[in-house]
Amino acid sequence: MALFALGDPHLSLGADKPMDVFGGAWEGYMDKLSAGFGVVGREDTVVLCGDISWGMSLEQAKPDFAWLNALPGRRKLLLKGNHDYWWTTASKMKTFFTENGFQTLDILHNNCHFYGDVALCGTRGWFYEEDQQGHNEKVFNRELIRLEASLKAAGDRPKLCFLHYPPLYQGYTCPEILALLERYRVARCYYGHLHGGSHRLAIEGEHNGVDYRLVAADYLRFVPKLVLP
């Protein structure tokens, strides 16, 4: 049994937005993802840190969910990314997964999951790019509430956090999110969202007691990152 993380698969089996058009690392990315999941065992857990599917609805994203469900792993925990337009209420998503037999899929949203004695916490988060259209205080505060709800649900267990947006970046920090991670003594934080040339601006390593790691799919060469054995 092992725990892995990977962000931003950007699947597009039900929508016409394949990432292959960007070339480079993204060329043939579906085959690369399929091969990369070879490191995942049938009893393992994979946290997918947002930007799961380009589908605009649950129904349009259904082929992507089926593809994910068939990959190795007993559990795939999905976070919301900024491009997950299919995302809806937790009850609707859970019902949709159950009705379609997607038994390995679940969501990490306003809750936490457990891997042994370790709590897996997370939410989408917030990123400075959103400020280009004006800081949406309501959305930002909602993300803080969701993150703290997830961390509180973990109780006294050791905590790992998974976000879509990076909480720190060269030239940028989100102090409110960083403060929550530090206050709840999160050991490690995994995030996605950054692609291509942005990789070099990612901040990894220890910062005020929390270890940060980028797990965007193209950064990991489409191989899920081992988090815990």
CATH code of residue 89:
3.60.21.10
Q: How many domains in the chain?
A: 1
- pLDDT category of residue 128 using cuts at 50, 70 and 90: low
In the predicted model, what is the mean pLDDT of residues 63-87? 98
Residue 31, pLDDT > 70, answer yes
Domain of 139 in residue numbering reads as: 3-228
| Lowest mean pLDDT across 13-27, 36-50, 63-77 | 13-27
What local confidence, expressed as pLDDT, does residue 160 receive?
98
- What pTM, to 2 d.p., does this model score? 0.96
- Per DSSP, the chain holds a count of helices (H) and strands (E) of 5, 13
In the predicted model, what is the mean pLDDT of residues 57-69? 98
Which residue is associated with the tokens 């698969």? 9
What local confidence, expressed as pLDDT, does residue 88 receive?
98
What local confidence, expressed as pLDDT, does residue 133 receive?
52
What local confidence, expressed as pLDDT, does residue 226 receive?
98
Side-chain half-sphere of 162: how many Cα atoms within 13 Å?
Answer: 33
Q: Which residues neighbour 1 within 8 Å (Cβ) at sequence distance 6 or greater?
A: 41, 43, 44, 45
* Backbone dihedral region for residue 134 (phi beyond 0: left; psi -120 to 50: alpha; all else: beta): left
In the predicted model, what is the mean pLDDT of residues 172-200? 96
**227: its two tokens:** 């988090």
What's the chain's length in residues? 229
Q: Which residues neighbour 109 within 8 Å (Cβ) at sequence distance 6 or greater?
A: 79, 80, 90, 123, 146
For residue 201, give the 3-state DSSP assignment: helix
